[in-house]
Every structure is written in C-alpha cells, then in structure tokens.
Amino acid sequence: MEVHNKTILLVGATGGIGAAIAKQLDQLNAHLLLVGRSEQALRQLSAGLSHRHILLLADINSAAGRQQIVTQCQQQAIDIYINAAGVMDFQLLAQQESVKIEQMINTNLLSPMMLCQLLLPLLTQKSSAAIVNIGSTFGSIGHPGFAVYCASKFGLRGFSEALRRELAGSGVQVLYFSPRATRTALNTHAVKQLNEALGNRSDSPEQVAKMLIASLKANNGQQFMGWPEKIFVRLNALCPNLVHKALVKKLPIIFRYANENTG
C-alpha cells in the first residue's frame, strides 16, 4: 500500500523506531497522527518534521486513552494504523516483578488488540487500509531471560496472522513486522552487553523504519529482519530442539546479565 498522502496513526511515535518511522513518513508526504505519552517528546519530534502533523497525548493501556485515539482517528479518517509502542523487561521469571509482567502483556499485546478492534469499523470503510504491528525476533524464538516479552510478541504474531486471514478480501491488509535487536532506549545497558556477548547484531532505527515502509508498500504479510535471525526463526519452527540446545549453552551468559539488570 502506498503511503504518499495517506493518513496514518502512529502509536509509539516518540520511541526510537517510532520516531524514525515518523521522519520517513513525513518525507513521503503522509499525514500523521502521532501518539505518545510525553508532551515534550512529541513536541521535540514534531519540531524535526517538515510538515505539521496532529499530536495526541494518550496511554494505550487506559480505556480513556484508547477512546481518545479512536475519536481523533474518526475525525481524520485514517488509512493506516502502525503500532510501534512496546516495553521490554529483561529478567528471569523467578525474579521479575509482577507489575512488569502486566505492563508487557498490556502494552505489547492486550491494548494493541483492543485498539485494533476499535479501529476496525473505520479501516474497513476504506477501499484499502492497513494495520502494522511491530513484533520481534522474540515473537518467534523463545529466549531465556525474556519469557514474558516473548509471550507478548508470540501473541502479537498469532493475532496478526489470524486477523490477516479474517480480513482477507476486506481491503484491510495486516502486516506483522519483526525487527531484530535495534539500537534504541528499549534496550538497557545489560541487554546491550548481553547482545554483544552473544554476538547478536543490531540495526539502526532508520534501517528498521525503511524496511517497514518497504514492507507496507509491498503488502508483505510477515516480514523478519536480519541474517542470521531469519534462518533461526525458520530453524526454531522446524527443529526447535536444535535451537533449544544452542540457547541452553548460553544460559551462564544470560544469567550473568539478567542478574546485572536486577542490580
């Protein structure tokens, strides 16, 4: 789907990946409804864009926040919804605070599904529309230290796949876009150190944004970023025991940095 002149709801616009998407869509002459929870961050983002866009302060984890978003979307008649909001807590489940578990499931899975449901009547009115959910490599590979984050992203991938099939023929395309590690504030110092120790490569948010927009234009239902991550995703689906053995060997490193994340 083309983005030029389209009206696009971007949730998580103030994040590392969200801001990179906003900047590239701005250059492509899209009309943006930028959602975040910090007024200062939204204003800072807006100041760096070439065109004027609508800024909206809203928390997707509150019913009132979701309703505010929907009301604005009705007024703007949006064509595309991009969900770039997310939270991550790297921690062994035994040590994880329950509030973090709730926050990850709500922000990464429950609230995006609820928002999608509310937006559907608007999107299905259009002859062509799109929903883009940003997942993760951890939405396809269960990784120690990220059990709840993985659960939220596996859920988002399943939701996106089912909805894509449910909406086939409706004119609404559903894209699940899965970056690998990306250099943003989502990753704590311990996560960065873990990635280095495991030899995991990372992308810039600009590379992620570019590929996401290309996938949207090409109507790719599912898109995974990065080699060898794409291969591991397939290998894990076909031979999970092989990936299991490889990851179990890395447990001492994972435990070390998870403990550091606590301290």
Ligand X SMILES: NC(=O)c1ccc[n+]([C@@H]2O[C@H](COP(=O)([O-])OP(=O)(O)OC[C@H]3O[C@@H](n4cnc5c(N)ncnc54)[C@H](OP(=O)(O)O)[C@@H]3O)[C@@H](O)[C@H]2O)c1
Binding site for ligand X (CB under 6 A): 12, 14-18, 36-38, 41, 59-61, 84-88, 107, 134, 136, 179, 181-182, 184-187
212/247 with CB nearer ligand X: 212
174/181 with CB nearer ligand X: 181
Least separation in angstroms between residue 56's CB and ligand X is 10
DSSP 127: S
102/166 with CB nearer ligand X: 102
Least separation in angstroms between residue 5's CB and ligand X is 25
Least separation in angstroms between residue 177's CB and ligand X is 9
185/238 with CB nearer ligand X: 185
3/115 with CB nearer ligand X: 115
CA atoms within 13 A on the CB side of 95: 15
Least separation in angstroms between residue 171's CB and ligand X is 25
DSSP sequence for 32-80: EEEEES-HHHHHHHHHTSSS--EEEE--TTSHHHHHHHHHHHHHHT-SE
Q: CA-CA distance, 188 to 81, in Å (whole number)?
A: 28
Q: How far is CA 158 from CA 77, 102, 139, 162, in A?
A: 27, 19, 9, 6
Asked whether 130 and 144 are in contact (CB, 8 A), the reply is no
Least separation in angstroms between residue 44's CB and ligand X is 11
Q: CA-CA distance, 107 to 181, in Å (whole number)?
A: 19
36/145 with CB nearer ligand X: 36
88/122 with CB nearer ligand X: 88
Smallest Cα–Cα separation from 153: which of 208, 212, 108? 108
Going through the chain in order, the beta strands assigned E by DSSP cover 7-11, 31-36, 54-57, 80-83, 129-134, 172-178, 222-224
Residue recorded with tokens 């239902």: 221
Q: CA-CA distance, 258 to 147, in Å (whole number)?
A: 12
Q: CA-CA distance, 169 to 184, in Å (whole number)?
A: 36
Least separation in angstroms between residue 184's CB and ligand X is 3
